[in-house]
Amino acid sequence: MAPTGQRPGRYRTHSPHFDAAFRRRLETLFRWRRDVRRFRADPLPSGLVERLLAQADAAPSVGNSQPWRFVVVEDEGRRRAARAHFAAVNERALAGYRGERARLYASLKLEGMDRAPVQLVAFCDPDTDQGHGLGRLTMPQTLEWSVVLAIAQLWLAARAHGVGLGWVSLLEPAVVAEILAVPQRWRFIGWLCLGYPEEESPEPELERLGWQRRTPLGERIFHR
C-alpha cells in the first residue's frame, strides 16, 4: 500500500545530494573518458568486470527492456578469428583513402584486440519479452540505442576505476555472430576492449594525431 496521504506509486525517498564538488569531478570523468586503443596486458582485478557490467545494467532502456546481451570472449581461438577478420576489414578501409589521408589512416591504431585482457562484445536482442514492447512501436531501433546507453555507462564506470575501454567498429556483424556462435537474431553493437591504458590524455588520440579536430558545439545546436 502507498503511504497515507500519497497517491499509489508515489513514495518519499531520501535521494542523494550531489554537491558542486561532485559535479566538478563528474565533469572531469566525462572529459577524461577516452576511446582507448593502446593497452597494458595486466589482468583486471578479480570481480571487476562483473562489477562494471552491473553498473552498465543500471542504464536506462526503452520500456525497461534491458535488451543488452554481453559476451565475454575468453577462447583464444575465437579471439584470433576476430582479430584476423578486423585486419581484413581494415585493409579494405585503408584502400578507400588516398594521399595524406591514407598515410594518416595507416598510422592510426584502431583496435586493442591484441593486448587488452578483456574482450567484451555487446549485442541487442530485438525479440526480448522484457518490457512487453513498451515505447518502441514507431521506433523499434530504440532497443539498439538502449544497448548504446549501457555501453556509455560501462565506459564511464570503467574510467572511474582507471580502466580504459575501446570500441571496435570495423567488423562485419554476421561474421562476429558466427565467430561467437550467438543466436542469429541478436544484433551486433560493438566489440569492446577493456584494460589498463598504456597512456592517458584528456585529448582524443584522433585529434592529437591530426585526423580531425572537434567542431564547436554551437554548430550542432539548432533552435526552431
pLDDT at residue 59 greater than cutoff 90: yes
CA 145 to chain centre: 11
Q: What is the per-residue pLDDT across 147-173, written as a single tens digit (0 to 9) for each? A: 999 999 999 999 999 999 999 999 999
Residue 211: exposure state from Cβ atoms within 10 A (0-12, 13-18, ≥19): middle
pLDDT band, residue 203 (cuts 50/70/90): confident
Determine the 3-state secondary structure of 222 from DSSP: coil
pLDDT of 2 higher than 50: no
For residue 1, pLDDT over 50 is answered with no
Mean pLDDT of 32-60: 96
Query: What topology does CATH give the domain 36-198+205-211?
Result: NADH Oxidase (3.40.109)
* 41: its cell numbers: 596486458
Give the pLDDT confidence score for residue 9 in this predicted structure: 61
Could you list the beta-strand ranges (E) of 84-209: 118-124, 164-168, 187-195
The pLDDT value recorded for residue 6 is 53
- What element of type H or E holds 69? strand 68-72
What is the model's pTM?
A: 0.90
- At 101, list the grid cell: 589521408
How much of the chain, in percent, has pLDDT values that exceed 70?
Answer: 95
More confident residue, 10 or 76: 76
**Mean pLDDT score of the chain:** 93
pLDDT score of 45 more than 50: yes
Contacts with 220 (C-beta within 8 Å, 6 or more apart), sequence order: none
